[in-house]
Structure formats: C-alpha cells, structure tokens
Amino acid sequence: MNARASDGKPLHELTAVEAHAALVARRFEVQEYVEALLAWQSHWGVLNAYAQQDPDAVRRAAARAHPDASPIAGIPICVKDNIDVAGYATTAGTPGLRDNRPRASAPIIQTLIDRGVIVTGKVGMHEMAAGGTCANITFGAVRNPYDPRMVPGGSSGGSAAAVAARLTPASLGTDTAGSVRAPAAHCGCVGFRPTTGRYDRTGIVPGSVRRDTAGWLTRSCADVELLDAFSGTPASPASPVALRGLRLGVPRRFFYDDLDPTLSPVVEAALERLRQAGAELIEVDLPDMDALLGRVFSQLRRDLPHDLQVYIRESGATVSAADIIHAVADQQLRVGFEAALAQAADESSDRSGEDEALAALNGAYAAYFTDNSLSALVMPTTPEPAYPTPLDVAAGGTGPVSMIRNTHPGALAGIPGLSVPAGLTAAGLPVGVEFDGPVGADSTLLRIGRAFEEITPPLPPPPSPA
C-alpha cells in the first residue's frame, strides 16, 4: 500500500495519464501498480464499490500487460455490472441476472483489453440502471466516499465511488438519463457521456437502446480524452480551446431553478471563474423544456422488454425478458417494468407522439447552439449534492427524479455531456458543473473541460476511512 511514484505520490493517487507515463518510463512495473491498488481497496470496504472481483485474474492480466504496446496498456479500469466482461457475471444489479455469464466481453471492453487495459472487476449499480441511490436490495448499498452516509448517485454509483476513492483511475459506466454524470457530480470525479451512437452498445444490459451509451468516469478530463480515443468512432479533431472569447450558454430557466442553497454558491463561483478567464457567458434559455419533455417522460421504459430480448439473444443469456422483469427486487421498479411488459404486448401502442417530441427536442438543442453561436452550455450537473442513503435499503426506491432533471434532456437529444468537479459544499460534499455540446462535439467538449480544470482548484481526496 505504501508504494510510491518517483515524485513521491502514492500509486493509487495517479491518474491514468500519469500512471501510463510512469509505466513507460519504468518507474514501477504494472504488477506493482496493481498490487498497490488492490491493497488500497482493502481499506475502503465501507463503500461496497466492487460487486465482483477476481484478484488472481487481475494479477494475471497485469503480468501480460506491456506499457509500450499502446497508450492505454497497463491502465486498470473497473466496469459497471451491466456491461459484459468475460469471466464475470453480468447482473445489472438484479436477481434475475445473477447467474448471467456472457459468452464474450462487450465489443468496447474487448477493444480495451486487446490494447492492454486491465479490468479490475465489476462494480455495483442501481438495480437495472433505473435509479440514483445505488441502495441495491440484492447486492447491498454503494456508499459515497466523501461521506459514506450519503448516496454515490446513480446508476453508475459503484464506478464513481471507486474512481473517487482512488480504487482505480477509471471506470466504464453507462448513461441513459444521467447515470454517469450525476454520480460523477456526487462523488467528485469527471463523468463523460459521448454523443449517442459513438460507442458500440452491444453487450450492455439495456435501459433503452435508443438512449443508452457507455461513458467514462475518471479523475481528469485528460484521462477521458485518452480512453475515449480507444472507445468508439473517433471524435472529430478539435483545436485547443482557450476560454477567452469562448461563448457558453447559461440557460437559467429550468436548469438553474430551485438549486439547493448549499450547491448554488459553488456553481455561481464556477461561472465567475469562467467569466474572469474571458469566457462569454450568454444568458439565454432553451424553449419551454417542460413542454418538450412532458410527452417523452411517460414512455421512457416502453422499449425495455424488446431491448432486453435483443441483449439476451446476443449474449446467450438463458432467461427471458419476462423472467428478468418479474424477478426485479425493487417493487416500485418491478411494477413499472411489468407495465412496460404489458404495453409491449399491445400491438396497437402508438409511439408517434414520443418520436415527434424527441424530434422537437433535438431541433431545440441544435437551434440553441447555432442561433446563439455557442460552443457549449454550462449548468449544474444536479440541482443538489448527494443526499442520505435510505435507512431501509430493502424498501427500494429510485431516489428523487430531480437528480436527473439537468442531465436527462441532453441524453434524450443524444448530445455529449461532461460533468467536471467544481468544488465542495460547506459540508464537504462535491458539486459538479456540466458542459453540454452539439452532436459530435465530443472532442471540443473535453477540451473545454480541461480548460475549466485549469482555473478550478482540485478537490481534496475523500477522507480516508477509519
């Protein structure tokens, strides 16, 4: 646990970029790095971040890794438990998939493994990726490293907790409505949702195939840039971003409404730093978001039974969509999913209204960026910081829907979103600021994130557990 890099930094504190540079320079070996992370994990059992881990398999992968083989070789990552990794079950945090062992890794995972990435295990999540508490009835509650009494956010809570607590430098999660960005904000790490479709989503237990995407959680935007380059369709190249003269939209109405009084000052201080650095903050609102979103929200889970069957066919799972749905442990979720199952059986069900609403939402975002000559918009990732974990985990529940109020619209529109730590509340809880950009502007967004990091004091690491 006491292994250190040549600059004195503990190995578990290294970002992915720092770790790979040190490995290439032979300052330490991959096996030494992995052992340091495994030792550090033993001190953070309170988080319940890892749902599954095979330390011997991790060590074997480390022995095979050659840092010179690729820019990401030797980098350890953990993987959300709804993404297929050969050798592990893919449970999606639900009893009906407890024994689901896929025939192969998801293509995005296999690509990373082929380039030398080391999978350190599967991490916990909200059941079926359908909530924000990660108080999982079957596998236990995941905790927030900045305050274990609080939720880590969801549904990629295990990913965010593991990265923030320095158990691993990076994690691959998934985001359908905010499931990467919201936990990143709650746990004080970077969360990136790419433009929908850039990453292959085969081998991922679906929430909604049309909206799902894998996404990265790391401790720096540079780490996301590095891993993103090997994760899917290459992003369009972008020149370095200078904040001076950069036009950023600030949509006060809807996205800044009813902010928690402990979070709001941190967000406003972040806006002031941007302003002082020369960014042009254009206070202009999107059209009435409530009207645009109203018809969509009521139909979000209608595709789940069909999408589950596609996953089952591709992965070789031996259960049916109905088996999975009827076994969901959280009663509130199960009732909703069973309603979707009944709706899926109704061939007269009409989705044209949803399609029209999505087209209007996509058009509103495109016009917002174009008409106002904006590179991105900036907003609080969530309207409040992390909240207490439910006392009765067995009672289930998704948590307040307001936590995805700001993240969900961009996900529906398929645009890229990036949550970056902005500071801590007076109580020491992380606050995230999100930048959303036009479709395909992934690379530019990451460079904006890096520029924001340069003007933002880094968060202190979470307090070590007793």
Note whether 108 and 214 are within 8 A (CB).
Answer: yes
The residues with which 362 forms a beta bridge, in sequence order, are none
DSSP string, 65-98: --GGGSTTTT-EEEEETTB--TTS---TTSGGGT
Catalytic residue, chosen from 80, 208, 231, 419, is: 80
Question: What Å distances lie between residue 308 and 170, 174, 341, 444, CA to CA?
Answer: 27, 16, 11, 34
DSSP H stretches of helix in 279-383: 289-297, 304-315, 321-326, 331-344, 352-371
Residue 6: exposure state from Cβ atoms within 10 A (0-12, 13-18, ≥19): exposed
The residue with tokens 């994130």 is: 449
Separation CA 110–CA 126 (nearest Å): 24
For residue 14, what are its two tokens?
Answer: 């290294």
Query: How would you classify the pairing of strands 430-436 and 376-380?
Result: antiparallel
Query: 116: alpha, beta or left, given left = phi > 0 and alpha = psi -120 to 50?
Result: left
DSSP H stretches of helix in 219-330: 221-228, 252-255, 264-276, 289-297, 304-315, 321-326
Separation CA 155–CA 398 (nearest Å): 9
Query: How would you classify the pairing of strands 280-282 and 190-193?
Result: unpaired
Separation CA 274–CA 244 (nearest Å): 9
Catalytic residue, chosen from 105, 155, 156, 159, is: 155
**CA atoms within 13 Å, Cβ hemisphere of 148:** 13
Q: What SS3 state is found at 307?
A: helix
Between helices 331-344 and 304-315, what is the axis angle to 10°?
A: 90
Cβ–Cβ contacts within 10 Å for residue 1, how many? 14
179 has catalytic annotation = yes
Note whether 460 and 429 are within 8 A (CB).
Answer: no
Separation CA 308–CA 129 (nearest Å): 13
Note whether 262 and 425 are within 8 A (CB).
Answer: yes
Catalytic residue, chosen from 105, 156, 171, 179, is: 179
80 has catalytic annotation = yes
DSSP string, 33-63: HHHHHHHHHTT-GGG--EEE--HHHHHHHHH
9 has catalytic annotation = no
**Residues with catalytic annotation?**
80, 155, 179
